[in-house]
Amino acid sequence: MDQHVHIRHLNNAFKSIFKKEASEVLMQLCGTAIGCSFAIREKALCGQTSHCSSCEIRKGISNALIEGQAVNAQIVTREFEINGIMQLKYLKINFKPLKYKNKTMVMLIVDDITETEKARIEVTEQNKRIRSMNKQYRMDLKLAQKVQRDIIPKSIPQFPELRIASRYYPLEAIGGDIYDIITIDQNNFGVFVSDVSGHGLPAAMVTTMLKALVRSDQELLLKPDEFCTYLNYKFMDLSKEMYLSVIYGVYNRIDHSFTYVRCGHPHMFHIRQGEVREVIDEGTFLLGFTDTLQCPINRLNLKRDDKLLIYTDGLTETWNSEKEEYGDVLPYFLKENHELDVHNLFMSLDESLLRHKGHDQFHDDICYLGIEVTGNREDIKYL
């Protein structure tokens, strides 16, 4: 181009970008020739539009002529009329002064980066959307954490004839395990321990709904089989892709019986006079597995100094660097520490679990709850 911004020569690449033949553009003003949107819409010649004073192409040509050397590339973003249609183009243009037919002119090296730039902009927009979604997710997660903190018992009810201890370690900020101790009446309380499949926000949402269901019907809480059937019915409506393991039972403070239902949940451990046994009982399917769930009732009778351990599989399936599960260690740990009261037992269990895990990460939510019969109640009946 010459100093007046007339096109004096062009190559095939230029023709390809603007879809113009040499006869259409030679000796024409640049903007007029290549279909600058400002010239088209304002019906003005190049140099006379409202944009010309700030036009990057004109400035690049002027600077190259004044400085007598190449000018750094400029990115031009503009619509051009190409084949009768306004098209947005992203052009990277280098300006280099040279002699052409014994006159000083400027060679424009034009690189059409439209597709690359559109892709970059799309990625930038996607990143903005992702950041916005992440921000919303963090806000939702913070709210979910607060809700879950509220549904996990802040303190465990204590009774004169019993000691009760609990632990809850979610894998993520929020988890899918839940436990509860529900006072039903003067002589009975409910014990609820469950594990929702998965973890994180979806599992935590389910546990929140479970908490409401667990507290919804006091009379039903006295009947573990009917209660779990009811939970299964509700859970089938809540989720079609998640399952729930449960132990729910009623502890009677008079005769120290624990009447319970086990739905796809790990067997409990019972400690008596130094002997540790896994409680083999009649269980049933996970909740959410079938709408025809049958819940057989089990009964365990406890005596003074007995301890009962209820837990989720995150405890026994914690493995170490050798891929050894803590479930292989747990019975021996319980036997070696059977004389400890349940609170000190759980403190030792915490330490033992961490030693076993070593530097490995936990792989699941962990929850465990223990009940110890101390026999302090005056009307206690020993079996």
* Fold classification of 12-112 (topology level): Beta-Lactamase (3.30.450)
The vertex-312 CA angle with 280 and 320, nearest 5°, equals 105
Question: Which tokens hold the place of 311?
Answer: 């837990």
Q: What is the DSSP string of 164-212?
A: EEEEEE-SSSS-SEEEEEEE-SSSEEEEEEEEESS-SHHHHHHHHHHHH
For the segment 105-119, the average pLDDT, to the nearest whole number, is 93
| Residue among 69, 86, 88 at smallest CA distance from 78 | 88
Q: How far is CA 35 from CA 44, 87, 166, 329, in A?
A: 11, 10, 76, 79
Q: How far apart are CA 270 and CA 288, in angstroms?
A: 28
- φ/ψ bin of 310: left (φ > 0), alpha (ψ from -120 to 50), beta (otherwise): beta
Region 69-96: what's the mean pLDDT?
93
Fold of 152-373: Phosphatase 2c; domain 1 (3.60.40)
Indicate whether 200 pLDDT > 80.
no
Average pLDDT (158-166) is 93
pLDDT in tens, 38-68: 999 999 999 999 999 999 999 999 999 998 8
Which pLDDT does position 366 carry in this prediction?
Answer: 92
Name the most confidently modeled range: 71-75, 152-156, 261-265.
261-265
Report pLDDT for 380.
42
pTM above 0.95, yes or no: no
pLDDT tens digits for 207-256?
A: 777 877 887 777 899 999 999 999 999 888 776 778 899 999 999 999 99
Over residues 269-303, the pLDDT tens digits come to 999 999 999 999 999 999 988 989 999 999 999 99
Range in 142-156, 283-297, 310-324 the model is least confident about:
142-156
Q: Where are the alpha helices (DSSP H) in 44-193?
A: 56-67, 114-151
pLDDT of residue 199: 64
pLDDT band at 152 (very low <50, low <70, confident <90, very high): confident
The pLDDT of residue 317 is 93
Q: pLDDT band at residue 147, thresholds of 50, 70 and 90?
A: low
Computed over every residue of the chain, the mean pLDDT equals 89
